[in-house]
Amino acid sequence: MADARGERGHPAARDPAVAARPARPGQARPSRTERNAVTTHVFEPDGGIDADRWPDVAAVPRCSPVRQAIARAIVLRALRRLPLRVRLGDAEEFGARGPLLVVRAPDAFLRRIAVGGLIGFGESYLAEEWDADDLVGVLGVLARHAATLVPAPLQRLRGLWAPRQPDAQRNTLTGARANVHRHYDLSNDLFALFLDETLSYSSAVFDRSRGSWRELPAAQRRKIDRLLDLCGVTEGSKVLEIGTGWGELAIRAAARGAVVHSVTLSAEQRELARERVRAAGFADRVRVELCDYRQVTGRYDAVVSVEMIEAVGAEYWPAYFRALETLLAPGGRVALQAITMPHDRMRASADTHTWIQKYIFPGGLIPSLRAIEETAAAHTSLRVTAREGYGSHYAETLRLWRERFAQQAAYVDELGFDATFRRMWTFYLAYSEAGFRSGYLDVQQIQLSGGPS
């Protein structure tokens, strides 16, 4: 992914390496007891949006009357056909059932959608032009009907009206590091505010249908143990982890007696992961390196990668699977945890620049299970030999993160992140949770076998 420096659409257009980084960095991290005592924060307008940090949120885009009229017709047609209640400004509410979508500034809301599509829809939320008491519910309705929101004739012309992914976000060797930096290097303290003690930033696996905060650490460790079992990690195993996170998987693999080489592109994650590995007493068994998966050498009995394929980008999927094959020792196995989406929706949106890519994960693309299977088969000898889905578990994981993030709002402020950032992060977590609750998204633990003999 190339450096996106100078891209106006990014919330930190003057320096995308900082993204929505804090304006007042360096403050002390609050204790866990202090963080847990904070009450839920309610968003309130703060008197304005920082136009330097959020240029496309602060300014409503210009739009021709004709384009806005067309957008209004399409949007109102879609909303009236959905199981939603909608209130547009001072107009009478329409829709007899479902969660309530309140549009406070209909003109700005429609102009943003006319110009930016779903990116504009998300930016309108950041600008507080619309809201919902049940944000996950509203977004879930939209996710369940994603394939029919835009009329079929316009869907076929998607390439003419939908924004294209910028070349600046391609996953080249230098670009991948820049894009990872924009998300994962925001602040270790920020992530610690809403993640559990394992600092696991991926789906947990609960032992019942509804999870709780108390159960989350055990559910995260259960997820990790299943992945380690899937790729056969035991005493003496030589393990490669692609995408370190904050080190929990490497620590648990080392506790089994494995020797672990873990690679990441996030300097912040590497620093804290190394600290956690040392504190756990496994510095002699775990090596954490700042390195791209395409630059790793050697052979490993097990290769494990948790929710990292989503950041690879479709054009680099063949290189990713070839790397997995090359790095696998004879008889070894790969275990992936991957977010997936339906194949037809993946193909329809593959070249489209999305709100998530613009504001949260630049350069990313969620694959379909079919894309994983077909890419592995076309470019390697690896084959999917086992898999299991946990989509409902991810919805619960995201609910707990979202609730925790809301509870820690005061400390997010102390870290220097502004109200628009908090609203963006809330939208991101709710948007993701809705995707899993609606079934639009799934998460799979996948075993790949084969490789060199």
Name the residue type at position 90. Answer: D
pLDDT score at 32: 42
pLDDT score at 319: 97
pLDDT score at 87: 96
Nearest alpha-carbon partner for 418 in 55, 133, 54, 124: 54
Task: Give the end-to-end CA distance of the chain in Å, rounded to a whole number.
Answer: 33
| pTM of the full structure | 0.88
User: What are all long-range contacts of 223-228, with beta carbons under 8 Å and residues at least 24 apart?
Assistant: 223/337, 223/390, 223/445, 224/200, 224/248, 224/249, 224/252, 225/252, 226/445, 227/304, 227/306, 227/335, 227/337, 227/445, 228/252, 228/253, 228/256, 228/302, 228/304, 228/335
- CA gap 83, 86 in Å, rounded: 10
Strand, coil or helix: what is 351?
A: coil
pLDDT score at 451: 66
pLDDT score at 161: 54
The pair of three-digit structure tokens given for residue 192, joined into one six-digit string: 């610690």
Q: How many CB atoms lie within 10 A of CB 74?
A: 17
Q: DSSP states of 154-210 as a string?
A: HHHTHHHHSPBPPGGG---HHHHHHHHHHHHTS-HHHHHHHS-TT---S----SSSS
- CA gap 148, 163 in Å, rounded: 19
Q: How many CB atoms lie within 10 A of CB 227?
A: 26
pLDDT score at 92: 87
Q: How many helices (H) and strands (E) does the chain have?
A: 20, 10
256: Cβ–Cβ under 8 A, 6 or more apart, which residues? 228, 233, 234, 235, 237
In DSSP terms, 55 is beta-bridged to: none
The b-or-e profile of 302-316 (16+ CB within 10 A means b, else e) is bbbbbbbbbbbbbeb
pLDDT score at 168: 76
Q: pLDDT of 83-93, one tens digit each?
A: 999 999 998 89
Sign of CA dihedral 176, 177, 178, 179: positive
- CA gap 138, 440 in Å, rounded: 14
In DSSP terms, 388 is beta-bridged to: 445
Sorted by where each begins, the domain ranges of the chain are 55-160, 167-450
Name the residue type at position 149. Answer: L
pLDDT score at 43: 36
Mean pLDDT, consecutive 10-residue stretches, the chain (453 aa), reads: 32 39 44 40 56 96 91 90 94 91 96 93 98 97 84 57 71 86 92 98 94 96 98 98 98 98 97 98 98 97 97 95 97 98 89 90 94 97 97 98 97 96 98 96 97 64
The hierarchical CATH code for the domain 167-450 is 3.40.50.150
131: Cβ–Cβ under 8 A, 6 or more apart, which residues? 102, 104, 125
The pair of three-digit structure tokens given for residue 161, joined into one six-digit string: 């009206």
- CA gap 142, 124 in Å, rounded: 15
pLDDT score at 30: 46
Sign of CA dihedral 231, 236, 238, 243: positive
pLDDT score at 100: 97
In DSSP terms, 131 is beta-bridged to: 102
pLDDT score at 178: 87
**Cβ proximity of 397 and 105 under 8 Å:** no
pLDDT score at 7: 32
Nearest alpha-carbon partner for 145 in 447, 432, 445, 440: 440
